[in-house]
Amino acid sequence: MQIPFVNLYAQYNTISSEIDTSINKVLSECSFIKGKFVDEFEKRFAELLGVKHCIGVGNGTDALHISLKVLGISKGDEIIVPANTFIATSEAVTSVNAKVVFVDNDPVTYNIDTDKIEEKITEKTKAIIPVHLYGQPANMNKILGLVKHYNLKIIEDSAQAHLAEYKLSTDEWKMTGNFGDLATFSFYPGKNLGAYGDAGAIVTNDDELAEKCRMYANHGRISKYDHEFEGINSRLDSIQAAVLNVKLNYIKDWTQKRREIAAYYNEKLKNIPGLFTPKFLENTKPVWHLYVIRTKHRNELKEYLSTQGISTGIHYPKALPNLQAYNYLHHKPSDFPIASAYQDEILSLPIYPELKEEHLEYIVYKVKQFFESYE
């Protein structure tokens, strides 16, 4: 049996007629930049999340860069970022000439360790970028308390967390994207809600920030040749919006399927010596962009599963402070002991809605078979 880590073709097969029709409408109308297809997606995605504004942009990295710019982040400012995530989060900070300040990850949830944030706050700190890693919301109650106390901004990096939910201390459930001054999303093809190319969005409940984001992403203009300031060119194109509009019809069902698969893995893989399955906060509803297990036998397990036809992934093989790109910060792995240890232990199993029961049974059987050899 061959089980790919991601199977975008299987997803396309289930909705191909709708996707083809939607793309053909864009082609027949020659409406490639902005226009009704983008407007429709922005409106529907904002309504789905329960936010006031959605601004489609070129990709998730641009969404972070634009958010930092419109918040006025610049040289000399410090931005707190988790040590365990994709480089786009920290890369965006340096793109506006600000300083990245890394915080180690929580040993249970793998998200930013909110007990270690306060010690990194200085008079230069301007914002926190919590990443809802693997589709599991960060501890926003703690983060909201910190930003209120220190008068900081929040940019939620929700690139992996479309439709994830978090319950506030007031017992109110909200989807990720509702907790920050701004929140960013990626629609990279492999995401839970993925386009067929690069695409991203910024969401916010702040009218002024929404207008600034929209202008900055479109050369800082309010009309074709009326530019109030210099911006960049980062626009969600109509073909990607057309694809996303079709997928919006299915994202709730796909999310539920991911949750069912994660529950299956959790139940079938529990109590295996040497294997740690994901844990999450009780006041969260993860969307399982990735299902990440942890074992000191990671490399051997990955190789064994590969020989059995099961493709896996490593997210991420090096914690950000340990990358060569950040040598200039002079960090040691011991500065971030959890992220540095886990980078050699984490392994992502296949998780996508099109996985069939026999696929899941086979994956679980082979994982168990591997660990039996270590008993």
Residue 374: which pLDDT band, with cuts at 50, 70 and 90?
confident
Please tell me the predicted confidence (pLDDT) of residue 112: 98
Q: Are residues 240 and 170 in the same domain?
A: yes
Q: Are residues 233 and 364 in the same domain?
A: no
Q: How many domains does the chain have?
A: 2
Task: Give me the CATH number covering residue 284.
Answer: 3.90.1150.10
Please tell me the predicted confidence (pLDDT) of residue 346: 98
Percent residues over pLDDT 90 in the chain:
94
Q: Are residues 63 and 179 in the same domain?
A: yes
Residue 225: which pLDDT band, with cuts at 50, 70 and 90?
confident
Closest CA to 360 of 237, 269, 247: 269
In a domain, 1, yes or no: no
Helix orientation angle between 238-247 and 36-49, rounded to the nearest 10 degrees: 40
Span 338-352, mean pLDDT?
98
Q: Are residues 196 and 256 in the same domain?
A: no
In a domain, 294, yes or no: yes
Task: DSSP for 17-78, please give it.
Answer: HHHHHHHHHHHHHT--BSSHHHHHHHHHHHHHHT-SEEEEES-HHHHHHHHHHHTT--TT-E
Q: Are residues 299 and 201 in the same domain?
A: no
Closest CA to 289 of 318, 315, 317, 320: 315
Closest CA to 374 of 273, 276, 277: 273
Residue 132: which pLDDT band, with cuts at 50, 70 and 90?
very high
Residue 89 is part of which domain span?
8-103+110-247
In a domain, 297, yes or no: yes
Please tell me the predicted confidence (pLDDT) of residue 352: 98
Q: Which residues contact 240 (CB under 8 A, 6 or more apart)?
A: 187, 195, 196, 197, 198, 199
Q: Which residues contact 100 (CB under 8 A, 6 or more apart)?
A: 79, 81, 90, 93, 94, 320, 326, 329
Decide if pLDDT at 220 tops 80. Answer: yes
> What distance in Å separates the CA atoms of residue 47 and residue 41, rounded to the nearest whole number?
10
Question: Among 117-121, 174-178, 224-228, whose mean pLDDT is lowest?
Answer: 224-228
Percent residues over pLDDT 70 in the chain:
100
Instruction: Encode pLDDT of 15-69 as tens digits.
Output: 999 999 999 999 999 988 888 999 999 999 999 999 999 999 999 999 999 999 9
Residue 375: which pLDDT band, with cuts at 50, 70 and 90?
low
Look up residue 188 and give its two tokens: 């990279």
Q: Are residues 33 and 162 in the same domain?
A: yes
Residue environment code for 178-210, b if the CB has 16+ CB neighbours within 10 A, otherwise e:
bbbbbbbbbbbbebbbbbbebbbbbbbbbeebb
Task: Give me the CATH number covering residue 122.
Answer: 3.40.640.10
Decide if pLDDT at 260 tops 70. Answer: yes
Span 87-105, mean pLDDT?
98
In a domain, 3, yes or no: no
Instruction: Encode pLDDT of 298-335 as tens digits.
Output: 999 999 999 999 999 999 999 999 999 999 999 999 99
- CA 270, 276, 279: angle at the middle one, nearest 5? 85
In a domain, 127, yes or no: yes
Span 190-200, mean pLDDT?
98
Please tell me the predicted confidence (pLDDT) of residue 227: 84
Residue 373: which pLDDT band, with cuts at 50, 70 and 90?
confident
